[in-house]
């Protein structure tokens, strides 16, 4: 190592082998961001940044920074003009002349482009040459101040302007601007080191209109008028070292509310919403108290700000000492449904203040630790606030989601080391194991707060595990090995038999570990057996070949005496045991009741056991599992059990709600033998209707939330009932119509908008396909009389919404959905015009999304090219980023066609259009680009779309692709294809899994070479223009770290074992409550799949730059030949690298140690 004993260089080094090593040849200590002009009319920003850096190597000649979109006017270093090059290869991933249209090619090219500017690899779009006058200065490792003047004109990402088109000044119009983006998107609005691992202190200055407020990170030091008194400047200081990616800004004519309980907390909202803001934030101080107590440490920042803005990019975005929320989270005291959701968002963002903002991460592989810790303490808050039932329900929900996702798309790997990483460096993330880990770690984390060593503010997986063992002394290695070495979930199949002679329960537990996304589990497994004499826990040891487990029973024989039966929680209850098997003392059995294994359990037990479990087991998860199981047992006994649960007021309301739907399903299965009124009708009447006139519902009183939710849900479930003709019974429809008719909210303290919306949903649920006589045109005359009644209600509701709008327009949303249902079922002519008008900009976002969903559905059902074009146009031009993202998302979920499908929509023009969209049209928004890739994948798959004509003969590679079985491009395709049929179409695990080209074929590499080479060569070309030799350690092979930039939702990784069979590894970061949290949002992760060639190419490009340069520009046509030569070299390089042991834990730690100059 060179003498880098200067403080900044040492700062990041911890003792031991896993310290943080900066990938940059300098250390950033302080940054000034000054925006002195913001023009709302033109949507432009002018300002400068000043970075204070300490070189850590003597011959630093180039400084690479991140910057996108910005126009850079001038760069000075220590007041000397500096030359700079601005190049962003992600703007256009594959170059124009290329006719390639396959996703493999794209993903490789994109990975190369992204890693070429990845800050965690020490790269950046902006390359500044240190003036020769300063070389000596640099050699002494003295401080450099880089001053960059920049402007931003009509930014498409990073900063979002909202400028309502009304009369008045910008402040009167409620115009505002805020920073946004997925993960590290700060580079979109000012030049910086856009990495989570480069921390520095900040000075932020924003000059805005006098009527506006600028909210940013850190402490507001002062506000000063400009000389003309028409503007004022907000000066912020952030003394806690913070990553640029955690810097944010919101400017607007905000109303200011100082939190009455905590004066250092300030809330901001748009004009007129102050009463809502007061109500919404009135709860926040309790969350603060809770977290501070649980972590036994104070909130790290000296202040906290919440800003509620319109057209939010995401509902919640946490930045250092401030959070930006969607204004749509605000609500008044009358709203029931939104309240818990909003509180969850607040709590979630606050948890991220501690972990994520204050404590940052070393590399992308460590993201899961922060997401996990914040998610875990958020979970604790949930438990305390909403109760254990809600908490367990939430855990179950999350577990189900993860299991469903992994089984669909393959395993999730959260801590990947690409290429030759050691096994212990790989960690799987999942919340349940996490609970254990974190309870041990919370003390450890609190110690971290006291230390002010910057590097300790970065958490890594290794450091995290170390602190666990330090604090608790426990070795969690087996746990980690089980979950970390393998990705995927466990699939248990359980069944049992009772051996009467031995009084033993013979439990058989099988595992499916061959289907994708699964793994084999070895270790302890808890089984709870409820017997007549009580509930007993057994811990089984799951081993390689042990399928059967004998569990001795405690209860001797039959219930002779009438005796109360003790439950797990100590309660003793009377049970009617007549349904039981006379020979067995077993009431029910549960496998892994605590959900401590990431698993899916399919357990076989008799219907009466499920019924007992539903009635008497007190755990809500068990109740829900039994409800799910009872769907398969449509018997009067099941019916009775469900009805009893429905009526039981002590029962958790969510269980009762799912019992409603189960009852509807059972009733439909039992339709021929069903006696009495339609399911739930008499129950509803008893609970919610007047005593004297049972057909009239009581006037609304939603004081009891449990019964409110039940009242909302029951009609929706009832509408799913079908008679023998598979029609909704007339009685049910009349019943629902009466509920709507007699709905009276005048005496209610709460709004009934959600209730009414659900009534419309119920109406929609009752719709069955129209009987169509040879494709007659749908007109009013042949309208079904029932449908006429439904339509009447929908019309009235929708029209009343125009006069008396409901909160968040829930009713409009339900009406639009209902209309689409009517269209789809052939009652009303299918026509997208109505939805298109509601989808326009200017409607409330919920309405727009509902309308767009209908258009997407129409596009699919009617195969309309026009509508598809309309949607694509909106994806490109809509002013709201969230809506654009959602359209792509919905198109991916409900695609107009898929890869293996013949469709008139699938044509060359569409391919080109989508290609252009992901290639260059979405460069300003990571999330959007991944969305576009998702869609492209869903529509065309990984390889060249089939609708394209045969490629020209000149392109050898494309020709090859069409040739034979041995062809490399086809091999992965076959595998992918087999998966796709059953799998989530948007799973880009395939992409990720697409392996190192060396392993599959040598030729394959050439496919990638064109563009990869293009962007690489371009960079190296520019590098060569600078006279000094390249800075070591800059262009090193840096695998997983390139991810940040390309992962919108869920960073994914890949393990790089060379094999032709794709690994289904994908990172999955949970989003806490995540209303948005659909697995479909998982995005592809091309960088992780980047073949070694890309990286080695890069690494060599500087060494052999002359050659490359030459090669690229002059011998393009003979490329192939040259490449072979190179390839061997590269291969050699990469192999060499693979052999070298990793010295550092995270990829971000880099390999600069091996760079020539350093090791010299």
Site for another protein in 341-370 (CB under 8 A): none
633 lines the binding site for another protein (CB under 8 A): no
696 lines the binding site for another protein (CB under 8 A): yes
* DSSP assignments along 1-45, one per residue: -----SHHHHHTPPSSTT----SSSEEEEEEEEEEEEEETTTTEE
Label each residue of 422-439 as H, E or C: CHHHCCCCCHHHHHHHHH
- Beta carbons of 1084 and 1052 less than 8 angstroms apart: yes
Distance, CA of 570 to CA of 618 (rounded, Å): 11
746 lines the binding site for another protein (CB under 8 A): yes
41 lines the binding site for another protein (CB under 8 A): no
- Beta carbons of 1037 and 1134 less than 8 angstroms apart: yes
Output the six-digit token pair for 177: 């601007």
- Beta carbons of 353 and 402 less than 8 angstroms apart: no
Q: Which is nearer to another protein, 33 or 312 (CB)?
A: 312
| Other C-beta atoms lying within 10 Å of the C-beta of residue 149 | 17
φ, ψ dihedrals at 44, nearest 5° = -135, 160
332 lines the binding site for another protein (CB under 8 A): yes
Which of 82, 180, 270, 679: binder of another protein (CB under 8 A)? Answer: 270
37 lines the binding site for another protein (CB under 8 A): no
275 lines the binding site for another protein (CB under 8 A): yes
Q: Which H/E stretch holds residue 530?
A: strand 523-531
744 lines the binding site for another protein (CB under 8 A): yes
- Beta carbons of 878 and 843 less than 8 angstroms apart: no
Which of 184, 186, 327, 1146: binder of another protein (CB under 8 A)? Answer: 327
Q: Which is nearer to another protein, 73 or 841 (CB)?
A: 841
Q: Which is nearer to another protein, 227 or 1139 (CB)?
A: 227
Q: Tell me whether residue 564 is exposed, middle or buried, using C-beta atoms within 10 angstroms of its C-beta: 0 to 12, 13 to 18, 19 or more.
A: exposed
* Of 468, 599, 588, nearest in space to 522 by CA: 599
Rounded (10°) angle between helices 636-647 and 653-669 = 150
Site for another protein in 161-190 (CB under 8 A): 164-166, 174
Q: Which is nearer to another protein, 255 or 1014 (CB)?
A: 255
749 lines the binding site for another protein (CB under 8 A): yes
Parallel, antiparallel, or unpaired: how do β-strands 213-216 and 44-55 relate?
unpaired
748 lines the binding site for another protein (CB under 8 A): yes
- Beta carbons of 1044 and 364 less than 8 angstroms apart: yes
Which of 773, 780, 964, 965: binder of another protein (CB under 8 A)? Answer: 780
872 lines the binding site for another protein (CB under 8 A): no
Query: E-strand spans in 197-258?
Result: 199-209, 213-216, 219-225, 231-243, 249-252, 255-258
Parallel, antiparallel, or unpaired: how do β-strands 504-511 and 548-552 relate?
antiparallel
Count the site residues for another protein by CB under 8 A.
90
785 lines the binding site for another protein (CB under 8 A): no
809 lines the binding site for another protein (CB under 8 A): yes
Which of 272, 514, 539, 877: binder of another protein (CB under 8 A)? Answer: 272
Output the six-digit token pair for 949: 């004509």
Torsion of CA 282, 283, 284, 289, to 10 degrees: 130
Q: Which listed range, 289-297, 692-700, 1072-1080, 1127-1135, lies at the site for another protein (CB under 8 A)?
A: 692-700
Q: Which is nearer to another protein, 303 or 959 (CB)?
A: 303
230 lines the binding site for another protein (CB under 8 A): no
- Beta carbons of 167 and 428 less than 8 angstroms apart: no
Give one word for 162, left, alpha or beta, with left for phi > 0 and alpha for psi -120 to 50.
beta
Residue found under tokens 């439904």 = 790
Which of 21, 120, 198, 255: binder of another protein (CB under 8 A)? Answer: 255
703 lines the binding site for another protein (CB under 8 A): yes
Which of 582, 771, 773, 833: binder of another protein (CB under 8 A)? Answer: 833
Which of 85, 800, 959, 970: binder of another protein (CB under 8 A)? Answer: 800
212 lines the binding site for another protein (CB under 8 A): no
Go through 741-751 and write b for each residue having 16 or more CB atoms within 10 A of its CB, e for each that does not. eeeebeebebb
Minimal distance, residue 29 CB to another protein, in Å: 25
Which of 500, 564, 796, 1061: binder of another protein (CB under 8 A)? Answer: 796
834 lines the binding site for another protein (CB under 8 A): yes
| Other C-beta atoms lying within 10 Å of the C-beta of residue 996 | 22
884 lines the binding site for another protein (CB under 8 A): no
Q: Which listed range, 291-299, 494-502, 676-684, 775-783, lies at the site for another protein (CB under 8 A)?
A: 775-783
Output the six-digit token pair for 469: 């063992």
Q: Which is nearer to another protein, 274 or 522 (CB)?
A: 274
Q: Which is nearer to another protein, 759 or 933 (CB)?
A: 759
Distance, CA of 691 to CA of 696 (rounded, Å): 9
Helix (H, G, I), strand (E, B) or coil at 361: strand
Minimal distance, residue 537 CB to another protein, in Å: 40
Which of 81, 153, 602, 792: binder of another protein (CB under 8 A)? Answer: 792
Q: Tell me whether residue 536 is exposed, middle or buried, using C-beta atoms within 10 angstroms of its C-beta: 0 to 12, 13 to 18, 19 or more.
A: middle
Which of 334, 471, 476, 577: binder of another protein (CB under 8 A)? Answer: 334
The distance between the two most distant Cα atoms of the chain, rounded to a whole number of Å, is 99
Distance, CA of 454 to CA of 360 (rounded, Å): 10
778 lines the binding site for another protein (CB under 8 A): yes
Minimal distance, residue 780 CB to another protein, in Å: 4
Q: How far is CA 91 from CA 256, 392, 918, in A?
A: 39, 45, 10
237 lines the binding site for another protein (CB under 8 A): no
Q: Which listed range, 41-49, 61-69, 91-99, 158-166, lies at the site for another protein (CB under 8 A)?
A: 158-166
Q: Which is nearer to another protein, 228 or 902 (CB)?
A: 228
Which of 838, 858, 882, 915: binder of another protein (CB under 8 A)? Answer: 838
Q: Which listed range, 119-127, 267-275, 548-556, 948-956, lies at the site for another protein (CB under 8 A)?
A: 267-275
Torsion of CA 428, 431, 437, 441, to 10 degrees: 110
Minimal distance, residue 47 CB to another protein, in Å: 19
Q: Tell me whether residue 7 is exposed, middle or buried, using C-beta atoms within 10 angstroms of its C-beta: 0 to 12, 13 to 18, 19 or more.
A: exposed
Which of the 8 DSSP states describes residue 175? -
Q: Which is nearer to another protein, 1 or 804 (CB)?
A: 804
Q: Which listed range, 85-93, 262-270, 348-356, 541-549, lies at the site for another protein (CB under 8 A)?
A: 262-270
Which of 50, 219, 286, 644: binder of another protein (CB under 8 A)? Answer: 219
Minimal distance, residue 97 CB to another protein, in Å: 42
Minimal distance, residue 259 CB to another protein, in Å: 8
Site for another protein in 569-628 (CB under 8 A): none
846 lines the binding site for another protein (CB under 8 A): yes
Q: Which listed range, 263-271, 557-565, 709-717, 869-877, lies at the site for another protein (CB under 8 A)?
A: 263-271
Residue found under tokens 């074009």 = 869
Q: How far is CA 661 from CA 631, 655, 711, 763, 881, in A?
A: 9, 10, 13, 15, 36
Distance, CA of 544 to CA of 1080 (rounded, Å): 34
58 lines the binding site for another protein (CB under 8 A): no
Which of 383, 843, 916, 1154: binder of another protein (CB under 8 A)? Answer: 843
1023 lines the binding site for another protein (CB under 8 A): no
Minimal distance, residue 794 CB to another protein, in Å: 8
Residue found under tokens 């074929």 = 1001
Q: Which listed range, 535-543, 762-770, 825-833, 1034-1042, lies at the site for another protein (CB under 8 A)?
A: 825-833
Minimal distance, residue 41 CB to another protein, in Å: 16
């Amino acid at each position: 190592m060179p003498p880098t004993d200067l403080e900044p260089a040492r700062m990041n080094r911890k003792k031991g082998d896993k310290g943080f090593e900066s990938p940059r040849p300098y250390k950033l200590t302080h940054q000034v961001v000054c925006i002195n002009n913001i023009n709302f009319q033109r949507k432009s920003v002018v300002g400068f940044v000043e970075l204070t850096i300490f070189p850590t190597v003597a011959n630093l000649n180039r400084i690479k920074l991140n910057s996108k979109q910005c126009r850079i006017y001038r760069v000075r270093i220590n007041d000397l003009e500096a030359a700079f090059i601005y190049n962003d290869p992600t703007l256009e991933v594959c170059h124009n002349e290329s006719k390639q249209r396959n996703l493999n090619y794209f993903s490789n090219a994109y990975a190369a482009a992204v890693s070429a500017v990845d800050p965690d690899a020490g790269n950046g779009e902006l390359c500044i040459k240190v003036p020769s006058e300063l070389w000596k200065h640099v050699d002494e490792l003295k401080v450099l101040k880089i001053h960059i003047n920049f402007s931003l004109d009509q930014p498409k990402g990073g900063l979002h302007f909202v400028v309502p088109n009304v009369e008045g000044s910008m402040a009167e119009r409620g115009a505002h601007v805020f920073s946004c983006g997925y993960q590290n998107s700060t580079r979109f609005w000012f030049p910086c080191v856009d990495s989570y691992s480069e921390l520095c202190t900040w000075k932020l200055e924003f000059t805005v209109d006098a009527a506006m407020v600028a909210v940013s990170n850190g402490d507001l030091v002062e506000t000063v008028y400009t000389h003309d008194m028409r503007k004022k400047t907000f000066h912020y200081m952030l003394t806690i070292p913070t990553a640029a990616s955690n810097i944010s800004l919101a400017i607007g004519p905000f109303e200011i509310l100082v939190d009455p309980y905590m004066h250092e907390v300030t809330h901001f909202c748009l004009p007129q919403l102050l009463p809502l803001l007061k109500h919404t934030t009135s709860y926040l101080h309790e969350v603060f108290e809770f977290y501070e107590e649980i972590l036994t440490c104070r909130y790290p920042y000296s202040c906290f700000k919440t800003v509620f803005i319109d057209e939010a990019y995401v509902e919640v975005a946490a930045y250092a000492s401030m959070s930006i929320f969607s204004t749509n989270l605000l609500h008044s005291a009358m709203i029931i449904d939104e309240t818990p959701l909003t509180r969850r968002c607040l709590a979630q963002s606050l948890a991220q203040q501690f972990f994520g903002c204050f404590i940052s991460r070393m590399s992308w592989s460590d993201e899961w630790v922060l997401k996990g810790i914040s998610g875990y303490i958020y979970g604790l808050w949930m438990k305390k606030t909403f109760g254990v039932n809600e908490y367990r329900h939430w855990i179950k929900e999350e577990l189900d989601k993860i299991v469903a996702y992994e089984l669909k798309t393959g395993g999730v790997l959260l801590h990947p080391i690409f290429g030759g990483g050691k096994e212990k460096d790989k960690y799987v993330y999942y919340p349940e194991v996490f609970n254990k880990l974190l309870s041990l770690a919370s003390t450890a984390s609190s110690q971290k707060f006291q230390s002010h060593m910057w590097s300790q503010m970065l958490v890594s997986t290794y450091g995290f595990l170390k602190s666990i063992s330090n604090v608790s002394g426990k070795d969690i290695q087996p746990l980690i090995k089980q979950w970390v070495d393998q990705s995927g979930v466990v699939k248990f199949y359980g069944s049992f038999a009772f051996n009467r002679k031995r009084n033993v329960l013979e439990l058989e537990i099988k595992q499916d570990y061959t289907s994708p996304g699964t793994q084999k589990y070895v270790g302890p497994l808890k089984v709870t057996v409820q017997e007549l004499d009580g509930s007993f826990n057994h811990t089984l040891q799951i081993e390689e070949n042990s399928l059967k487990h004998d569990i001795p029973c405690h209860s001797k024989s039959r219930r002779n005496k009438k005796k109360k039966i003790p439950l797990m929680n100590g309660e003793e209850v009377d049970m009617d045991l007549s349904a039981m098997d006379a020979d067995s003392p077993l009431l029910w059995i549960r496998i892994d009741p605590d959900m401590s294994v990431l698993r899916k359990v399919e357990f076989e037990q008799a219907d009466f056991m499920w019924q007992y479990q539903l009635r008497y087991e007190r755990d809500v998860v068990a109740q829900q599992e039994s409800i799910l199981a009872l769907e398969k047992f449509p018997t009067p006994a099941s019916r009775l059990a469900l009805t009893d649960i429905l009526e039981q007021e002590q029962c958790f309301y969510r269980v009762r709600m799912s019992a409603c739907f189960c009852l509807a399903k059972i009733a439909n299965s039992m339709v021929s033998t069903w006696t009495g009124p339609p399911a739930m009708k008499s129950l509803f009447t008893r609970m919610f209707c007047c005593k004297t006139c049972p057909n009239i519902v009581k006037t609304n009183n939603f004081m009891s939330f449990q019964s409110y939710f039940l009242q909302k849900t029951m009609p929706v479930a009832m509408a799913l009932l079908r008679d023998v003709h598979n029609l909704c019974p007339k009685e049910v429809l009349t019943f629902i119509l009466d509920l709507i008719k007699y709905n009276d909210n005048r005496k209610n303290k709460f709004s009934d908008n959600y209730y009414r919306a659900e009534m419309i949903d119920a109406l929609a649920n009752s719709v069955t396909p129209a009987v169509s006589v040879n494709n007659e045109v749908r007109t009013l005359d042949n309208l079904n009389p029932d449908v006429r009644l439904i339509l009447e209600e929908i019309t009235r509701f929708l029209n009343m919404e125009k006069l008396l709008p409901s909160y968040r327009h829930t009713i409009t949303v339900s009406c639009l959905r209902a209309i689409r249902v009517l269209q789809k079922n052939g009652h009303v002519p299918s026509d997208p015009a109505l939805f298109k008008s509601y989808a326009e900009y200017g409607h409330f976002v919920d309405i727009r999304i509902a309308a767009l969903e209908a258009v997407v559905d129409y596009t699919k059902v009617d195969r309309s090219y026009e509508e598809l074009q309309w949607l694509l146009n909106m994806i490109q031009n809509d002013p709201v980023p969230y809506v654009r993202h959602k359209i792509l998302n919905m198109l991916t979920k409900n695609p107009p066609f898929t890869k293996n499908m013949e469709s008139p929509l699938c044509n060359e023009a569409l391919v080109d259009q989508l290609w252009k969209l992901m290639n260059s049209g979405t460069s300003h928004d990571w999330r959007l680009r991944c969305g576009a890739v998702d869609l492209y994948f869903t529509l065309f798959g990984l390889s060249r779309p089939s609708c394209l004509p045969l490629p020209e003969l000149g392109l050898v590679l494309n020709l090859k692709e069409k040739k034979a079985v041995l062809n490399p491009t086809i091999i992965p395709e076959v595998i992918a294809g087999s998966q796709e049929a059953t799998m989530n179409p948007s799973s880009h695990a395939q992409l990720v899994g697409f392996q190192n080209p060396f392993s599959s074929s040598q030729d394959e590499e050439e496919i990638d070479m064109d563009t990869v080479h293009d962007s690489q060569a371009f960079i190296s070309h520019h590098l060569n223009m600078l006279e000094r030799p390249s800075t070591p350690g800059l262009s090193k092979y840096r695998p997983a770290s390139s991810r940040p930039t390309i992962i919108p939702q869920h960073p994914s990784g890949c393990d790089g074992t060379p094999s032709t069979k794709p690994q289904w590894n994908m990172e999955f970061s949970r989003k806490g409550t995540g209303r948005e949290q659909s697995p479909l949002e998982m995005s592809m992760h091309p960088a992780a799949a980047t073949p070694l060639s890309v990286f080695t190419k890069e690494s060599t490009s500087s060494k052999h730059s002359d050659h490359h340069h030459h090669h690229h520009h002059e011998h393009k046509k003979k490329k192939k030949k040259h490449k072979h030569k190179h390839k061997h070299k590269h291969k050699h390089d990469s192999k060499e690298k693979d052999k070298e042991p990793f010295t550092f834990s995270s990829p971000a730690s880099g390999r600069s140690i091996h760079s020539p100059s350093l090791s010299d």
